[in-house]
Amino acid sequence: MRRYILRVTLCIATVVTLAAGWIPYTHRAARLDLSNSDDSYTAEKSIGLVPASKEIYAEGVGFVDQTIFYQAVVTPDEVPWLAQAPEVSHFEAPNQAPLWWSLSLWWHGRNSDMKYFGTSTKSPCLFAYSKQKGLVYGTVEFDRTKPQNPH
């Protein structure tokens, strides 16, 4: 019986360790290398944001009408376009959001300075911005019949 309990505990510990390591791995893998032309195009044209920090993480979800989820380290001078976006109440991460994005939004959303925005002027988008942390979270939903730049 003791061996059985030890094996079950070891199996559970292995699964938990793998799951805990998967989140930072996928976050690191989502970092855009702006010297790469594909990543640069994603940041400039699809997202419409190239932060001075060059620290931007993005992951596309979906096949036909893709949604890009991104997180960027920014300064207040880099996000003046948020002043024109209508503020919305707190939102939860959409179901299809990458786990690293959802957990990071939840974690930083606990700060009282987090503001949430939503717009559908050029494409449906959600944004969250923390001036204190210098982070902007965003989604860009692509509808093939509309222009691609959300800002």
Residues near 137 by Cβ (< 8 Å), separated by ≥ 6? 69, 70, 71, 101, 104, 105, 108, 126, 127, 128, 129
Query: How far lies 120's CA from each of 26, 76, 80, 151, in Å?
Result: 28, 22, 17, 11
The model's pTM is: 0.80
pLDDT-wise least confident of 44-48, 126-130, 133-137, 147-151: 147-151
Q: How confident is the model at residue 151 (pLDDT cuts 50, 70, 90)?
A: low
Q: d(Cα 10, Cα 13) in Å, to the nearest integer?
A: 5
* pLDDT of 76 higher than 60: yes
